[in-house]
Chain A
Amino acid sequence: MPGVWIAGAGMTRFGKRQESLPDLVAEAARSALSAARLEAPDAIVVAAMNPEEFIGEGNFASQIATHLGFAHVPALRVETATSSGAAAVYTGFAAVAAGLSRSVLVVGGEKMTHLPTPRVSELIGRSIDPHERSYGATMPALAGLITRALMAKTGVTLKEISQVAVKNHANGARNPDAHFQEPVSLDAVLESRIVADPLRLYHCCPISDGAAALVLTAEPAPVRIAGIGQGADTLAVRYRESLVSFRATQAAAKAAYRMAGFGPERVEVAEVHDAFAPFELIALEDLGLVPSGKAGRATLAGETAIDGRLPINPSGGLKARGHPLAGTGIAQIAEVFWQLLGEAHGHQVAARVGLAHSIGGLATNNWVTVLERTR
């Protein structure tokens, strides 16, 4: 298979933004194109989870292409719930790897903070199985169920789970593009209000606006996409045999490692989908980055801190960088790209191989992307 390289990346600051989604997407896209020194791409892949309801816009790929001054460039939109950004990267990767395009602009984002929180929760919650939703299941509710099962089954403690949030806030404090740039204490996390028992507010990522972009190319560049994989699971959580690991992550990782020709042993930095703090611990084990049953202790021991053995979410993760849904999967890969290039100003780690992990819905449609610096 021909190689696919990342020529440039861009993102807006995440958080509460006044600009429109097309403007945020354009800001990220122009920044990525400028970094790639590319005037116009051969094709555009747009990721947005639900612009129809968040901002009342449809035919969104064409809208973005026109807004960017690329009305003549073929554009399409990709959606896999909260992992839509990673799915868009996969689509762009496939187009370049197949020789259909020499360069693809992949851009995604979401705009949500202008809506009341219950409305945002309802719209995100529509990615849950309808029967479970009829019982009042929301994303935090399902995450609460998973957290309690995880604690009962593996012995992970609330302190270990809370340390994920502490670490990611500490990283976000060093990232000028992060939604939250303030550290939080372990006590503050443990004392924050209960959202879905035993999950507390500071275990949950915020509602953010923002966008991110990548330029993928067939021209060799310093960083290549070594492997990319998708994994799937049942929409209904009640159909799953296990609540404490995600089959969709395991399958995505297996596919990505197979394509890369190497496994987790070479990964030196990772951005993982910590929409809820315990999900980072589950991801570390599902991805094979930490031995089974050790993620909590490794986190508490500082192994995953920015100066630890294996830095996880040096950007601040979804918890602190923020989570503008379809922007996240692309921002994670952009972050790993900058880490490998040595351009992660203020939160740089030493790495030549990095991984990004994105969860769609309640882990129904997950993605793993492995990047490698080759020169």
Chain B
Amino acid sequence: MTKPPSELIPASRCTRCGRVVAPPTSYCPDHPVAMEPLSIEGYGEVVSFTTLHSPPEGFSSPLHLALVGLDGGARLFCHGAETKGLRVGSRVAVEEVDQVYYFSHLGVMDRARLFWRRAGDLEETVTAIVKSAVKRVWRRGGGEKV
């Protein structure tokens, strides 16, 4: 089965214990050891998720949050368009737009909807959709990892 296009997530790995964290950080949380940078694929499983109906200032309601355990080892906080049908253990793709990670196991239309729902003005929203579409086209055009 062909995988959908994948995002590469910047991460870092502890040279002593092998722990991988994302976003990358200078030191391992449990060892005073400099971490080495690496990239991991944006695929993983939902560790847990929740929906906030009164999110903090600056976030639109409802706010869907998931903690995703990436196949490459790190766990990542992500926003999402919805949690309908989502379960602990669901497979998801993670994509970064404007330095925010989004989870989805949804189709193109749903992805577009996801970005429309984001907080921010219309121009930002359109830019986000274009960016996402360009990435997908680029990946299909040979950017896909073997």
- Interface range, B side: 20 to 34
Which chain B residue has the least Cβ–Cβ distance from A125? B56
Q: Which residues of B contact A135 (CB under 8 A)?
A: 65, 77-79, 100
Q: Which residues of A contact B83 (CB under 8 A)?
A: 197
The 8 A CB mask of B64-77 against A (1 = contact, 0 = none) is 01010000001111
The answer to whether the Cβ of A321 comes within 8 Å of any Cβ in the partner chain is: no
The answer to whether the Cβ of A141 comes within 8 Å of any Cβ in the partner chain is: yes
The answer to whether the Cβ of A308 comes within 8 Å of any Cβ in the partner chain is: no
> Which of B50, B56, B74, B87 makes the CB contact (< 8 A) with A238?
B74
Q: Is the CB of A196 within 8 A of B51?
A: yes
Q: Is the CB of B88 within 8 A of A238?
A: no
Q: Is the CB of B50 within 8 A of A144?
A: yes
Cβ of B89 to closest chain A Cβ, rounded Å? 7
The answer to whether the Cβ of A145 comes within 8 Å of any Cβ in the partner chain is: yes
The answer to whether the Cβ of A149 comes within 8 Å of any Cβ in the partner chain is: yes
- Which of A136, A140, A144 is packed against the most chain B CB atoms within 10 Å? A136
The answer to whether the Cβ of A69 comes within 8 Å of any Cβ in the partner chain is: no
The answer to whether the Cβ of B9 comes within 8 Å of any Cβ in the partner chain is: no
Q: Which residues of B contact A38 (CB under 8 A)?
A: none
Cβ of A37 to closest chain B Cβ, rounded Å? 47
Q: Is the CB of B29 within 8 A of A141?
A: no
The answer to whether the Cβ of B40 comes within 8 Å of any Cβ in the partner chain is: no
Q: Is the CB of A148 within 8 A of B75?
A: no
Q: Is the CB of A196 within 8 A of B52?
A: yes
Q: Within the assembled complex, what's the spacing in Å between the Cα atoms of A234 and B50?
A: 21
The answer to whether the Cβ of B129 comes within 8 Å of any Cβ in the partner chain is: no
The answer to whether the Cβ of B47 comes within 8 Å of any Cβ in the partner chain is: yes
- Interface range, A side: 20 to 34
Q: Taking A138-B56, A152-B88, A152-B89 as contacts, is the C-beta distance between A238 and B76 under 8 angstroms? A: yes
Interface of A is mostly: helix
The answer to whether the Cβ of A236 comes within 8 Å of any Cβ in the partner chain is: yes
Q: Is the CB of A149 within 8 A of B29?
A: no
Cβ of A111 to closest chain B Cβ, rounded Å? 22
**Chain A residues numbered 228-279 whose CB sits less than 8 Å from any CB in chain B:** 234, 236-239, 243
Q: Which residues of B contact A137 (CB under 8 A)?
A: 65, 77
The answer to whether the Cβ of B125 comes within 8 Å of any Cβ in the partner chain is: no
The answer to whether the Cβ of B138 comes within 8 Å of any Cβ in the partner chain is: no
The answer to whether the Cβ of B48 comes within 8 Å of any Cβ in the partner chain is: yes
Q: Is the CB of B47 within 8 A of A118?
A: no
Which chain B residue has the least Cβ–Cβ distance from A119? B57
Q: Which residues of B contact A343 (CB under 8 A)?
A: none
Q: Is the CB of B52 within 8 A of A148?
A: no
Q: Which residues of A contact B30 (CB under 8 A)?
A: 234
The 8 A CB mask of B5-38 against A (1 = contact, 0 = none) is 0000000000000010111000001100000000
List 9 additional contacts besides A118-B54, A149-B48; criterion CB under 8 Å: A144-B50, A145-B49, A152-B48, A152-B87, A152-B88, A197-B50, A197-B51, A238-B21, A238-B77
Q: List 23 A-B contacts (CB under 8 A).
A: A118-B56, A135-B77, A135-B100, A136-B59, A136-B79, A137-B77, A138-B55, A138-B56, A144-B51, A145-B48, A145-B65, A148-B48, A148-B88, A149-B47, A152-B87, A153-B88, A193-B53, A194-B51, A197-B83, A238-B22, A238-B67, A238-B74, A238-B76
